[in-house]
Amino acid sequence: MVTHSNKLFWLKARTFIFGHPLATANAEHAKVGVLAGIPIFGSDIISSEGYAPDEILYVLLLAGSLGYAYIMRVSLVIVILLASIFMVYRKAIQKYPQGGGSYTIAKAYLGENFGLIAGASLTLDYILTVAVSVSSAIENLTGIFPWLTPTPHKVLADCLIVLFMAWINLRGLKESARLFSLPVYLYILTLIALAATGLVEILVHGPAGVPKVAAPMATASATGMTWFIFARAVAGGTTALTGFEAVSNGVTAFKNPGQKRAITTLATLALIVAFGLVGLTYLAGIYHVVPSEGNTILNQLGLIVFGKTFLYYVLMGSAALILIIASNTPFAGLPILLSLMARDGYAPRYFKNLGDRLVYSVGIWTLFFVSLILIVVFQGDTHLMLPLYAIGVLLSFALTGFGLARHTLKEKGKKWKSDVVIFFFGGSLSFLVFLVFIITKFTQGAWIVLVVMPLLFLMFRTICCVYRGEIADIEVTPGIMAEFHQHMVKVKRRRAHVEMSEYHNKIVVPVYDLNVVVLKALKYAYSLTPQVTAVHVGSDPERINKLLRHWAENHMEIPLEIVDSPYRATVHDFLGYLDKVEKNGHYDTITVAIPELVPEKMWHNILHNQTGQLMKLMLLLKKSILVTSVPYHHNPKPEHTVEFKISKPGHDAH
């Protein structure tokens, strides 16, 4: 038995670690505004612009010192792409206030398969963002903390940071916003100061008066500027755009009016990224800095503009912090994406359930474990994972643009021609960059994306097929309902001459929906006693109203009781209801008959949250409560008989 003191201890420990549970009624108070939305959903894209100039120059300098003349042209192309993507996602937010971004748009306007491709690409990108951001941050800290250099130490540090990010996100969006706002805004301000100070220096002294910190590269090995090199540089620079779709996925996380706040956040992030990218690339081109593994462009520009002053250390310190914080964007975005896919039946249903702190905790835990596996497999090596980075998000950009272009072309509303041009241009340019990424990075590991994405797509399709098969199998038809009512009439006739007071056994049937599985449990319970009550533990008013409506429409004789669950603790609140039944009723026995769908295949169990099993386990602690499982086998054979076993505490229920 669990004593009261032990329960109190674990309750205090849980509250200390994760915070007090938040009621569903307080969902609006747990949401965020624009100022909090920027660090939550924008830390990834803000951090990405810091190393995008390095990726651009790594490619452009293949053409020798001539590459510096093209760096602003590359930046201009990326800014144009950024502007078109902003227009695309602004429309997506306006069209779909429930969020979903690329997945929702592609599914609605390009079809189910393209929606799943977008979902798979975003899922892969979010997972890689965590692994790459954390690994990159630790690698940048090895110069300050040499003990992080050995691979085991580096991997351990990566894992601890991922654990910390998961923990802070499990405490809620507002918790992460409070913690991450200061370093994010500090980085933004110092980046603006860097670009502005550098620009003033150039305006005052002129380009000729600016010292070149790197000698022009020898042209002997240079190939000259080609369209292919230029395209590769653009592709490398698009790493500055990773994470831009997170806002459109997380519209529901913003306070009302959610759409307006989400669009304002998106516009603010677009301006920050455009200014930062143009400023850094312009200064890099003027100063002729050369990126290297141990000396980034941001570090070199910081030393040139600020010198080894306080501002330089603030810039580099906040840059290191924001690389870690960048992994917060996936922890905010992926759980919301998976919850939307779960509502559509493409991900396990438990991904759509809110946790104690009104966040999708199952999605957070899933991202945590998968990221750990990725870090361990790649030994925390950023260079091994970087070729996979940004590929998925570029594909999702393309699908969103094409989807909205097709929809606009079909609807032909106001200003439809200009909208089609913007959407199609954004989709085409994103897809072109995606192809360049795949081709140029194929041998460096991009081929893995072409393997993993189809596997994710196949997984989503398989989950959907399983759910659709189960829904079709347990759906209540008029014939099944008529058979149920006939059974009830027969039982009533059989016990017509028996007084209700002679029945001292009570059966409680927990129900989530009205389906064949529930009807089978109700028939079984009513055959034993008329003292049967169906109980629904719910926190979603929409779900409760739907169940009540179905119950009334089908003229169910068995009473239905609704147990309010403000903190979404289904099992806990159900046990509380049973305590009241025990105290207020005069029954010799109380039995809980749990309806259970037995999946066709064993692995299908992972698609269900096993609430029934948890109920049985918890009820074993109640000596006066009997438990029975009423199994319904998926695709059952006709004319088969099912044995029911009543289990007392300590015995299994089948």
The domain segmentation of the chain, as residue ranges, is 38-181+213-260+328-467, 477-647
Instruction: Report the candidate in 335, 371, 370, 368 with the shortest Cα–Cα distance to residue 353.
Output: 335
Exposed e or buried b for every residue in 570-584, given b needs 16+ CB within 10 A? bbebbbebbeebeee
Q: CA angle at residue 455 from 454 to 457, to 5 degrees?
A: 60
Nearest-angstrom CA–CA distance, 291 and 273: 20
Q: How confident is the model at residue 217 (pLDDT cuts 50, 70, 90)?
A: very low
Phi, psi for residue 472 in degrees, rounded to 5: -65, -35
Residues 236-261 have pLDDT tens digits of 888 888 878 888 888 888 888 888 99
Q: Which residue has the higher pLDDT, 645 or 615?
A: 615
In this prediction, residues 544-552 reach a mean pLDDT of 93
Look up the pTM and report it. Answer: 0.82
pLDDT value of residue 211: 56
Nearest-angstrom CA–CA distance, 463 and 84: 34
In this prediction, residues 446-475 reach a mean pLDDT of 90
On the CB side of 546, how many CA atoms lie within 13 Å of its CA? 11
Residues 104-156 have pLDDT tens digits of 889 989 999 999 999 999 898 888 888 888 887 787 666 667 787 788 888 99
At how many degrees (to 10) do helices 416-440 and 391-411 cross?
160
| Residue 520 reports pLDDT greater than 90 | yes
Q: CA angle at residue 263 from 257 to 266, to 5 degrees?
A: 140
- In the CATH scheme, what is the code of domain 38-181+213-260+328-467? 1.20.1740.10
pLDDT value of residue 636: 46
Instruction: Report the candidate in 255, 257, 246, 401 with the shortest Cα–Cα distance to residue 337.
Output: 246
Least confident of 49-53, 355-359, 370-374, 472-476: 355-359
- Beta partners for 626? 591
| Residue 169 reports pLDDT greater than 50 | yes
Beta-sheet pairing, 560-564 with 646-647: unpaired
Q: How confident is the model at residue 654 (pLDDT cuts 50, 70, 90)?
A: very low
Residues 555-588 have pLDDT tens digits of 998 999 999 988 888 888 898 899 888 887 778 8
Phi-psi region of 627 (alpha: psi -120 to 50; beta: other; left: phi over 0): beta
State whether residue 554 is helix, strand or coil: coil
Are the C-beta atoms of residues 565 and 488 closer than 8 Å to each other? no
Q: How confident is the model at residue 365 (pLDDT cuts 50, 70, 90)?
A: very high
Q: Which residues contact 425 (CB under 8 A, 6 or more apart)?
A: 84, 401
In this prediction, residues 66-94 reach a mean pLDDT of 89
In this prediction, residues 204-222 reach a mean pLDDT of 52
Best mean pLDDT range from 204-218, 257-271, 311-325: 257-271
In this prediction, residues 337-361 reach a mean pLDDT of 88
pLDDT value of residue 219: 41
Q: How confident is the model at residue 646 (pLDDT cuts 50, 70, 90)?
A: very low
Q: Which residues contact 299 (CB under 8 A, 6 or more apart)?
A: 316
| Mean pLDDT value across the chain | 83
pLDDT value of residue 637: 44
Are the C-beta atoms of residues 387 and 441 closer than 8 Å to each other? yes
Fold for 477-647, please state it.
Answer: Rossmann fold (3.40.50)
Are the C-beta atoms of residues 353 and 539 closer than 8 Å to each other? no
Are the C-beta atoms of residues 344 and 179 closer than 8 Å to each other? no
Nearest-angstrom CA–CA distance, 131 and 375: 6
Q: How confident is the model at residue 54 (pLDDT cuts 50, 70, 90)?
A: confident
| Residue 9 reports pLDDT greater than 60 | no
DSSP state of 358: S
